[in-house]
Amino acid sequence: MGTEARVLIIDADTAPAQKMGLALDGAGFPVTWCSFAPADVSESLRDFRPSVLLVHSELASPQLAALLARLEATPVPVALLCRDVAEERFVRQLRTGVVELLQEPFSARLHVNRLRLLMAELPDRTGELAGRGGGREISELVLHLMRTRRTGGLAVGENGRAFFVRGVLKAARFRELTMEPALAAMTRSSDAWTYTEGADGASGLVDFMGEEEPFVVTYREFGQARVQPTPAPLEDTRPPAVATPPVVVDPEAARTPILFVDDDPAVVMMLSGYFSKKGYPVATAADGLEAMKLLSERSFEVVIADLNMPRLDGWGLLRMVREDLRTHETPMALFSAQDNYRESLRLLHAGAQAYFPKSLRLSSLEIQVRELVEPRRRFSRLVATDGGIEFNFGSLGPQWTLRALATTNYRGQLDARDSWANWRLWFDAGRLVECTALIGGTSLSGDRAVAGFLASKQAEGSLSPGTPSPSEGFAGHPTEATLARLVPWLNDEHKRAAEGQLARARALQVNEELYRLFITVGPPAWQPMVRMLCEQKLTPAEVIARLQVTPMEVAAVVRELLRRGVASLQA
């Protein structure tokens, strides 16, 4: 069925559109591409008659909004290639408009197969979503409906109903409220909700609205208490009736973005499909280098990586993640079909939070993922209590802790301690306003104190809600701005320290257990250099002379041994 689907690629840049077109053409898809220019789109829709659009754009882009408006006359499902796929949970069961979010960058191996599966899935999709309410879940759904110009009905609990036509609120009632106040009240509700695509979603709503004048609430105006009267009638966009039950969107899952890293497209597709349908925002990478690029661009609650991959394997990715202060707090798990490698890393405390066999059932893997994020979920649940709760800030991650307190608008103080220092941090409306540290008999404050807290590994302590009364400190800067300033500086400091150590080193101190593992799983081409450095204790210069290799090749091997913890520098 996929080879019969006609794909129209829409991209503002010709070069990536041609690259995607060549990949799809090679897979048997009839394909063409055009720009976002209205004339180009209209001509392509008329002459090519596509089955699906592959659009390179973000959900919030004005270009996409204009395109969706033009598609109302010629409805064609849209697959979006974008950086932000957090709203994937809202599109996976819908059949019209934006029906798929594909994570950038374009991958022929992954995305061609996903388009093929999409065309097979669409006829069987329910056109319904459901969720448990609470938090910002309903608010995020409403924003999604507005900016993707959805038509359908939203039911919240037993008392809330709203109907949208092309992303515009046409009717709403919540208890005694109507229209925009009703919609705002529904977004704050913790009741379960259901969204039904198409005119059937408005069943009975317009009747109980009576003769009240309909209003328009647009995406730009949502949340600003602005409404405008309009005489626009409702239009019947009734989809075929289906009896399949809706997929429940779990708010806990929706707040748990996961990155899966594996060079096997079948494994990645299986994991992505299962967790996406459970409501998790999912991104994928084919190896460790792709994963590091994604990690540098956005944050994930969990990374699960295969141990054996080309270019950069799971072990190497783990070391890179842990060495970079921007990513080193990310919970990470390794999985492999080879139990001996996985168990060796577990026993050697290589730095991952978990090690999974590939034979693990998907339902069991989901339970393990929930266990990995439970410490952070527990912190979020308890942060508003009266205090006295002890936390391991080292396991939560100092940076993550500061961001969590900013998100919850925490007011009070945080006390932390480890074997090196004691810290006290004050917060006002989630903003870090001061930090002090006591190291032995030395007192520090400001950036130097915060830097020490960020570098701590196993700090424990507690929260004490209240009104802070420190000096001015960071009062003029958001917590995120403070982190953006200090984390790169700390990274540079660590890098300079490592380079200085390398310059003074005369030999490598080898971890024998990790060395035996590296000889087994490391690149075969490196083994002669590795054996000379680690077994014969030759210097890099001697290795270069004996093997006639370049200094850059030897330096790459040494860096890899250091990154994996196989060896350390000995002065």
Q: Write down the H helix ranges in 348-418.
A: 362-382, 393-396, 398-407
CATH of the domain at 302: 3.40.50.2300
What tokens appear for 513 in the block?
């257990």
Residue 1 or 176, more confident: 176
What average pLDDT score do residues 95-119 get? 88
pLDDT > 50? residue 540: yes
Q: Does residue 7 sit in the same domain as residue 77?
A: yes
What average pLDDT score do residues 6-19 get? 86
Q: Is residue 257 assigned to a domain?
A: no
Q: Is residue 82 assigned to a domain?
A: yes
Q: Is residue 267 assigned to a domain?
A: no
Q: Does residue 86 sit in the same domain as residue 183?
A: no
Q: Does residue 443 sit in the same domain as residue 410?
A: yes
Exposure string (b/e) for 521-540, b if CB count within 10 Å is 16 or more? Answer: bbeeebeebbebbbeeebeb
pLDDT > 60? residue 505: no
What tokens appear for 15 in the block?
């070069």
| Percent of the chain clearing pLDDT 90 (strictly above) | 6
- Residue 139: alpha-carbon gap to chain centroid: 19
Quick check: 84 and 58 in contact, CB under 8 A? yes
Q: Is residue 330 assigned to a domain?
A: yes
Sign of CA dihedral 387, 391, 393, 395: negative
Q: Does residue 6 sit in the same domain as residue 120?
A: yes
pLDDT for res 502: 55
Q: Does residue 181 sit in the same domain as residue 198?
A: yes
Considering 50-54, 69-73, 235-239, 375-379, the range whose residues carry the highest mean pLDDT is 50-54
Q: Does residue 136 sit in the same domain as residue 120?
A: no
Q: Does residue 180 sit in the same domain as residue 137?
A: yes
Q: Is 327 helix (H, G, I), strand (E, B) or coil?
A: coil
Considering 34-48, 356-370, 495-509, 533-547, the range whose residues carry the highest mean pLDDT is 34-48
CA Rg, the chain, in Å?
27
What is the spatial distance between Cα 546 and Cα 543, in angstroms, rounded to a whole number?
Answer: 5
Structural domain count of the chain: 5
Q: Is residue 173 assigned to a domain?
A: yes
Q: How far is CA 226 from CA 140, 154, 164, 220, in A?
A: 18, 20, 16, 10
pLDDT band at 238 (very low <50, low <70, confident <90, very high): very low
Residue type, 407: T
Q: Is residue 262 assigned to a domain?
A: no
What is the spatial distance between Cα 163 and Cα 480, in angstroms, rounded to a whole number?
Answer: 38
Omega before 246 cis (within 30°)? Answer: no
What is the spatial distance between Cα 568 and Cα 571, in angstroms, rounded to a whole number?
Answer: 10
Last residue of some domain: 494, 514, 546? 494
What tokens appear for 259 in the block?
């990155």
What average pLDDT score do residues 307-318 get? 80
What is the spatial distance between Cα 470 and Cα 430, in angstroms, rounded to a whole number?
Answer: 15
| pTM score | 0.50
Q: Does residue 565 sit in the same domain as residue 537?
A: yes
pLDDT > 90? residue 56: yes
Please give the mean pLDDT across all residues of the chain.
Answer: 78
Q: Is residue 499 assigned to a domain?
A: no
pLDDT for res 242: 44
Q: Does residue 312 sit in the same domain as residue 391?
A: no
User: Which residue is it, tokens 């009703």?
Assistant: 182
Q: What is the span of the domain harbouring residue 217?
A: 128-248
Residue type, 95: R
Considering 72-76, 296-300, 318-322, the range whose residues carry the highest mean pLDDT is 296-300
Last residue of some domain: 347, 374, 401? 374
| Percent of the chain clearing pLDDT 70 (strictly above) | 81
Q: Does residue 11 sit in the same domain as residue 117?
A: yes
User: Which residue is it, tokens 């008999």?
Assistant: 441
Q: Is residue 273 assigned to a domain?
A: no
Q: Does residue 111 sit in the same domain as residue 134?
A: no
pLDDT band at 217 (very low <50, low <70, confident <90, very high): very low
Last residue of some domain: 59, 91, 124? 124
Q: Does residue 401 sit in the same domain as residue 414?
A: yes
* Each residue's pLDDT tens digit, 434-475: 888 887 777 888 888 888 888 887 788 888 877 766 555 566
Q: Write down the H helix ranges in 72-176.
A: 108-121, 137-147
What is the spatial distance between Cα 508 and Cα 38, in angstroms, rounded to a whole number?
Answer: 63
What average pLDDT score do residues 395-420 get? 86
Poorest-confidence range of 64-73, 118-127, 146-155, 352-361?
352-361
